[in-house]
Amino acid sequence: MIQYNGIGIDLETYREQSFRHKRMFHRGYGSNGIGLFKINQIRTFLGNIEVISESGSGSSFFVNFNNRVHTLQQDE
């Protein structure tokens, strides 16, 4: 779990947009809009991200990875 007590995200309004590149929800807080986009790349590795957030009270990000082992076999 990754948690911070910042200004949070209004998920009712921005849930679908929250992981887009250069998407910022609040101006003037020193952000550049790439943090959640980079976190979203976890899905490339078969991971899953769940966000719990409320505007004004911070956010929690739950990150899970698929732990299945894949064995590569050489052709004979």
**23-68: per-residue pLDDT in tens?**
555 555 555 555 566 666 676 777 777 877 777 777 777 888 777 6
Instruction: Please list the residues that pair with 62 across neighbouring strands.
Output: 50
DSSP string, 2-14: EEE-SS---HHHH
Q: Are strands 2-4 and 59-65 parallel, antiparallel or unpaired?
A: antiparallel
Q: Does the predicted model carry a pTM greater than 0.85?
A: no
pLDDT tens for residues 1-24? Answer: 666 666 667 677 665 655 655 555
